[in-house]
Amino acid sequence: MLPLSDFGSQGAPIHYKAWVCSSPGCGFNIKIRNGDVYLNEPIANGSMHTPRVR
């Protein structure tokens, strides 16, 4: 799993907001948003990967 960071609405960095599997093609991810944890949401960004259709 690789830690990912994000930027808040004020531009402040949010460290380790999400964790994504380090295996290419796996795409399993965990995110924290507004205090809730989301498991394995579809990845909809990045030019190298095609989002999964669910």
Q: Which residues bind Zn ion (CB under 5 A)?
A: 21, 23, 26, 28
Find the shortest distance in angstroms from Cβ 7 to Zn ion: 25
> Which of these, 4, 7, 6, 28, lies nearest to 18 by C-alpha position?
4
Of 21 and 32, nearer to Zn ion (C-beta) is 21
Find the shortest distance in angstroms from Cβ 24 to Zn ion: 9
Of 30 and 32, nearer to Zn ion (C-beta) is 30
The answer to whether residues 19 and 1 touch, using CB atoms and an 8 Å cutoff, is: yes
Question: What gap in Å lies between CA 4 and CA 31, rounded to an integer?
Answer: 9
